[in-house]
Structure 1
Amino acid sequence: MTTEFLGIPESELAAAKALATAREIEQQPRMLVRTHALVAQMHAELAAFIAPVAGNPNARVILTGAGTSAYIGQCLAPLLDRQVAARVDAVPTTDIVGCPRLYLDPEQPLLLVSFGRSGNSPESLAAVDLAEKLVKDVRHLVVTCNPKGGLANLDVRQALTIQLPEETHDESFAMTSSFSCMMYATLAAFSADGALDARIGPLANAMARVIAGKRKVLRTLAEQKFERVVYLGSGLFQGLAREATLKLGELTNGAVATCFDSPLGFRHGPKTFVSERTVVFVFVSNDPLTCRYDHDLIDELRRDGRAAHVVEVTARPRAGHLASSIVLEGMEQAPDADLLWPYIAAAQVYAFFASRALGLAPDNPNPQGLVNRVVQGVTLHPLEG
């Protein structure tokens, strides 16, 4: 029996240097279920570790990482900030390292939540070190996919690690299952015990349906080789739109120009990015108010008639718009948080096929080495004063 990933035989993917990326996209629903079980087993330990900071209204939680890992925090921070007493912010490690005193308050208790696929990015390790040096009361929650990485083996005052299944330590250049599972693990860690038990099945199944059931339409779109692609999202989906643009930029080696924004923000200048060779994807909210603003912008773009395609990625399709929608069946009543995973799956699949359409190798789309799986070329300068 021939093994396939994303509808393509394994042998063909291997020959095209696309096997790791395809496999890691397709494995995500299974990995999410395993991540759920793993975090559930740790819940008492996690709650005890997180509570002293999360329950303190004078304390701060910083969600941090670089690149894709930073966007995990940008997706979750608005939600977690509503759930816990402490202030919750997403601050990339690249910002902390460049301007540590702007983001680290010596007197404010801090929980630094560090994301890392490899756990070896120089900025990730430097951010931990800076927090240790500058903040009097700091503890570190590490969410990582690599047990041998630097983040998983910190020598600090207070640390706890969520070590994800080894399959999530993506071999490919672009982060896919590492992103989705680190994001899920963090949401689960900050949720009440059992709060996600009834949600993980529908969430993982919705992601699987996108990967298996929407790949043909996404492949057809990708093979049109659009010159520009826009991702838009409100609320939690702003961070997801940013991750979607990065995924496409990485897998097409910069050959496709990308842009991200919120639907309301897009009118304030960025809308000029749209050309006749542009496809616009909008991650539509399930919130009744927010989705009205999403729909307003979608309808406006279609009336403008400038973009080649405007695609609604939605759990609540509108009559008369099905032909230009990617629909998540069975998620009509889901909170927006649960849509993060099936929505990003659509963007990952599109990026994979866009890479293939351009004749690139998705597992290593930049063979020149200008960018690397683990960032290189960073000079860390000493903290002065």
Structure 2
Amino acid sequence: MPVKPPVLPPALAKLHGANDAEKARQGYAHTLREILQQPPTWLGTASRLSGEHTAAMLRELLAAKPAHIVFTGSGSSLYVGECLAPVLQAALGIPCLAIAAGTLLTSRRGVLPPGRGLLVSIARSGDSPESTGVVDQVLAAEPGYAHLAITCNARGQLATRYRDEPRMHVLLLDEATNDRSLVMTSSFTNLLLAGSGLRHVASGDPDPRLADAAAAVAGALVERHGEAIAAAAQRPVDGVAYLGSGAAFGAARESALKMLEMTAGAVRTLPETFLGLRHGPMSWLADDSLAVAFLAAEPSVRGYEYDLLRELTRKGLGERRIVVGESIPADVLGAHGVAVELPGLYALEEAQQLMIHVMVGQLLAFFRCLALEQKPDAPSQGVLTRVVEAFAIHGSGAGA
């Protein structure tokens, strides 16, 4: 069923309605389109997961009974794995962990669990040096591992290099998710949704409608809260702390990276867990800092999060806040808080809740980038590139 496009609030409607030349001049055409296209692309990914070939492939990988599942990637792709690992471990009863591709390249024997496993390589382009470097080394040194690559790029190395390798399986997403912007937005949430497909094949064939509710909540986010998020981004801010518990820490890490990338480092960021903030990082918060809180669905976990936010209020810290959840108590907002109230959020599967949290981070970073008169499609003026530049992959050493 097609997704009804959200009614864009004024801040987004003006940008979206500009002509192509103006969008190109301000450098936001790709990024804005890719943020707004997420709900319909989620439906496409959900349909792909329910397809006979994909469902059979994922069932086959789980039928091999891996002793552990390792998610790997770099940057945003790693944070997809950090979101997925706790969710899938709870659902599958299989130990799951996320390990950076760079860490596997330099320290494989110290971090990769030995024996029978499944290595899930996550990548937008599949062309970053670490992507194939890790797969090559694990294929050679770890015969007990099966491999699954989840990627958005049909022409990338992850999708094409291992066609004759029986241990490699590829889950290829629609080309529309292969974001053209420097930053990953729709690619991130679709890779996250695709990885959660392992849960659905374990409990039965995936439902092609599994993302419908998430798409509706995302539409409500844009319609009801886009203007408030834009206004929060207009105010000068020294730094932004992103808080999430459990799997939501991965969403916090991704949101912090979006702000760092889109402002070319002009806004400092801190991703942290709610309980971890007390152990030193709380001193990071300054008068002009913004705190973004992704509240958990589980009431007992949310109790810890409320306590921390109330403590910040008592101490006069992080009074500027964006709090995302349902039925948000007024006393956790601080003096200048914005409540992103999203009915239906907690009825979503946990991975899909994280997709919504990340969209909040994307919108905040996008508007802050424009407020700083930078270009969201390529804000770093060549310091960063859409695909990491090639570098030498060195042979296995003592740490590998």
Name the CA distance, whole Å, in 2 between partners of 1:105 and 1:199: 32
Tell me the TM-score normalized by structure 2: 0.89
Regions of 4+ moved over 6 Å: none
Q: Percent identity?
A: 31
Name the CA distance, whole Å, in 2 between partners of 1:44 and 1:361: 40
Amino acid at match of 1:298: L
* Residues 128 and 390, structure 2, Cα contact 8 Å, conserved in 1: no
* Residues 104 and 131, structure 1, Cα contact 8 Å, conserved in 2: no
In the alignment, which of 369, 375, 384 is matched to residue 361 of structure 1?
375
Aligned length: 378
In the alignment, which of 56, 60, 65 is matched to residue 68 of structure 2?
60
* Residues 170 and 176, structure 1, Cα contact 8 Å, conserved in 2: yes
1:157 is matched with which residue? 166
Name the CA distance, whole Å, in 2 between partners of 1:383 and 1:165: 35
Tell whether 2:127 aligns with 1:127. no
Q: Deviations over 1:97-120 (max 9, x none)?
A: 1112123355x1121111111100
- What is the Cα deviation at residue 331 of structure 1? 2.4
- What is the Cα deviation at residue 375 of structure 1? 0.7
Q: For residues 48 and 335 of structure 1, do their structure 2 counterparts lie closer, same or farther at Cα, with a shift above 3 Å needed?
A: closer
- What is the Cα deviation at residue 190 of structure 1? 3.0
SS at match of 1:99: helix
Tell whether 2:183 aligns with 1:174. yes
In the alignment, which of 65, 72, 88 is matched to residue 80 of structure 2?
72
SS at match of 1:324: strand
2:12 is matched with which residue? 6
Tell me the TM-score normalized by structure 1: 0.93
Name the CA distance, whole Å, in 1 between partners of 2:331 and 2:323: 12
* Residues 87 and 350, structure 2, Cα contact 8 Å, conserved in 1: no
Give the RMSD, CA atoms, in angstroms: 2.0
Q: For residues 88 and 332 of structure 1, do their structure 2 counterparts lie closer, same or farther at Cα, with a shift above 3 Å needed?
A: closer
The 5 Å alignment of 1:180-329 reads: 180-191=189-200, 192-194=203-205, 199-319=210-330, 324-329=338-343
Q: For residues 317 and 197 of structure 1, do their structure 2 counterparts lie closer, same or farther at Cα, with a shift above 3 Å needed?
A: farther
In the alignment, which of 147, 151, 157 is matched to residue 144 of structure 1?
151
Name the CA distance, whole Å, in 1 between partners of 2:86 and 2:267: 30
Uncovered stretches (5+) of structure 1, i.e. residues with no partner: none
Q: For residues 366 and 84 of structure 1, do their structure 2 counterparts lie closer, same or farther at Cα, with a shift above 3 Å needed?
A: same
Tell whether 2:368 aligns with 1:378. no
- What is the Cα deviation at residue 335 of structure 1? 4.4
- What is the Cα deviation at residue 188 of structure 1? 1.6
Name the CA distance, whole Å, in 1 between partners of 2:298 and 2:305: 10
